[in-house]
């Protein structure tokens, strides 16, 4: 959520200077803007940072920008690209038609308030991350008859995922000590929590690779790996293939299927009995024995 509750990632814009204030006002509480002077600059942003959407003013829909706008749509199909028709000036109809022919065919007329509401509604839908939500729901279906705290664990793997996380960070989110979390999975003869974390990250990486414009370096940067080489070693360690092979073999859906096939379905009966976050009351006899042992150590 870009570090702030309710916010999506930044929105990159190529606007007439007169339009910027209106776009910023419309995004209050939802997004922050990165204003650029050309689509070429936006293409660089798309590769180097997290961007939720691209807004292009109809006034900037010139023939010179058409090839670059086409690249935005072709190389980053999962990132919405929108043309805004504002109250300032009037774009040439031929330019708009050419832009639509390039594939950039989401046009929102913001000359009336309803247009701004439409824009906000469309960008708000991005906060749901519909495809990620659907995949997570499949996982929740797998865990329907497991304890509630197991469901909490699963949600924490994916909710707000923005980069490499450690078991310690995950345990902090779940308000349990790392040693407790690890030991409960170990005693239940389940894969380690770290493996669940890693596969959740690989699902996210596979989703990013669905955008042809992202290089291995771009994905490594988005997921906070120290370098493309580090990301490549990470993929090879857990999947036994190179980052390039990973890109060719998996999209988000396939990687999520592998997550469920390797970490959920084979262990379903054990997961049904696992409460990784809730401390179980110790039997009275065991508690008395532990107390007696502790007292004997003090003597």
Predicted pLDDT at 143:
87
Mean pLDDT of all residues in 147-163: 79
Question: CA 164, 76, 114, 160: dihedral to nearest 10 degrees?
Answer: -10
Q: What is the pLDDT of residues 87-116, one digit of tens each?
A: 887 766 666 676 666 677 788 999 988 999
**% of the chain with per-residue pLDDT over 90:** 36
> Per-residue pLDDT for 293 more than 60?
no
Predicted pLDDT at 299:
40
The more confident residue out of 66 and 280 is 66
**% of the chain with per-residue pLDDT over 70:** 81
The more confident residue out of 294 and 249 is 249
Burial class from Cβ neighbours inside 10 Å (0-12, 13-18, 19+) for residue 227 reads exposed
Give the domains, in start order, of the chain with CATH numbers.
11-128 (3.40.50.2300), 130-271 (1.10.10.60)
Q: What is the pLDDT of residues 260-286, one digit of tens each?
A: 999 999 999 999 888 888 755 444 444
Pairing of strands 11-14, 33-36: parallel
Predicted pLDDT at 282:
46
């Amino acid at each position: 959520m870009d570090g702030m509750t309710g916010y999506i990632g930044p929105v990159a814009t190529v606007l007439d200077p007169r339009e910027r204030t209106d776009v910023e006002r419309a995004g209050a509480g939802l997004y922050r803007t990165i204003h650029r002077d050309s689509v070429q600059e936006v293409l660089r942003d798309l590769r180097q940072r997290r961007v939720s959407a691209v807004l292009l003013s109809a006034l900037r829909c010139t023939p010179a920008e058409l090839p670059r706008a086409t690249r935005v749509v072709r190389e980053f199909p999962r990132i919405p690209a929108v043309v805004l028709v504002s109250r300032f000036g009037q774009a040439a109809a031929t330019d708009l038609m050419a832009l639509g022919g390039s594939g950039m065919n989401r046009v929102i007329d913001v000359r009336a308030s309803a247009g701004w509401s439409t824009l906000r509604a469309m960008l708000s839908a991005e906060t749901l991350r519909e495809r990620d939500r659907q995949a997570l729901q499949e996982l929740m279906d797998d865990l329907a008859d497991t304890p509630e705290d197991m469901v909490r664990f699963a949600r924490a793997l994916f909710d707000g995922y923005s980069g490499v996380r450690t078991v310690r960070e995950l345990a902090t989110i779940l308000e349990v000590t790392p040693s407790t979390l690890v030991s409960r999975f170990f005693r239940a003869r389940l894969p380690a929590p770290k493996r669940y974390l890693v596969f959740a990250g690989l699902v996210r990486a596979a989703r990013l690779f669905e955008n042809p414009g992202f290089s291995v370096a771009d994905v490594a940067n988005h997921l906070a790996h120290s370098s493309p080489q580090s990301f490549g070693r990470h993929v090879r360690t857990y999947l036994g293939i190179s980052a390039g092979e990973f890109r060719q073999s998996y999209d988000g859906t396939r990687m999520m299927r592998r997550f469920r096939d390797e970490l959920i379905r084979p262990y379903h009966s054990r997961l049904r009995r696992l409460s990784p976050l809730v401390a179980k009351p110790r039997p009275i006899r065991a508690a008395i024995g532990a107390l007696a042992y502790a007292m004997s150590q003090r003597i």
